[in-house]
Structure 1
Amino acid sequence: MWRRVFGGAGGGLHPWRMLAHRSSSTVSSAVDSILLRSLKEHYLEVSKMTPPPKVSPPSPFSIVKGALDAHGPVLRRTYGDEEISINVMRLANIIPGGGRDDDEDDGINQLFLHVDVSKPGQEDSLHFLCGLYPDALGIHSFSVRPRDKSLGFLVVPSRYSGRVFQDLDERMRDALHSYIEERGVNESLFPFLQAWLYVKDHRNLMRWFRSVATFIHEHKQAKDV
Structure 2
Amino acid sequence: MGHRLIRPLRGTITRLLQQQPKLLPTTNVFLNPNSSRNYISEMRKEAFEGNILRLLRNEIQYELDRSPPSQHIPEFNLFIVDEKPGEQWIRLQKKFGETEDIRVDVTMFDASVPAKKPGGVVAGGDVQLHITMIVNVFKGEGSDVLEFICSAWPDTIEIRKVFTRGHDRITAQPYTGPGFKNLDDKLQDSLYDFLETRGINDDLAAFLHNYMKNKDKTEFIRWMGTVKSFIEKKQKK
TM-score of the superposition, structure 2-length normalised? 0.68
More strand as a share of residues: 2
Query: What percent of counterpart residues are identical?
Result: 25
2:127 maps to which residue? Answer: 106
Instruction: Note the alpha carbon deviations across 1:28-51, whole angstroms, 9 max, x for none.
Output: 111111111111111111122335
Alpha-carbon distance in structure 1 between the residues aligned to 2:65 and 2:216 = 14
Aligned residue pair count: 197
Q: Does 1:24 align with 2:24?
A: no
1:159 aligns with 2:174: yes
| Matches of 1:63 and 1:132, distance apart in 2 | 18
CA distance in 2, matches of 1:99, 1:157: 31
In the alignment, what sits opposite 2:210?
195
Structure having the higher helix fraction is 1
- More deviation, 202-211/48-57: 48-57
Aligned to 2:187: 172
Larger Rg: 1
Three-state SS of the structure 1 residue aligned to 2:132 is strand
- Name the SS of the counterpart of 2:227 in structure 1: helix
Residue correspondence of structure 1 range 141-160 to structure 2 within 5 A:
141-148=161-168, 157-160=172-175
Deviation at 1:212, TM superposition (A): 0.2
One-letter code aligned to 2:83: A
Aligned residue for 2:95? 78
Deviations 1:144-177 (A, max 9, x none): 23344xxxxx788433233332333333323222
The structure, 1 or 2, with the larger RCO (C-alpha pairs under 8 Å, 6+ apart) is 1
- Counterpart position of 2:235: 222
| Structure 1: gaps of 5 or more residues | 1-13, 149-153
Matched, 1:128 2:138: no
- Cα separation, 1, equivalents of 2:154 and 2:177: 29
Q: Tell me how far apart the structure 2 counterparts of residues 32 and 124 of structure 1 sit (CA, whole Å).
A: 54
The amino acid that maps onto 2:33 is: W
SS of structure 1 residue aligned to 2:166: strand
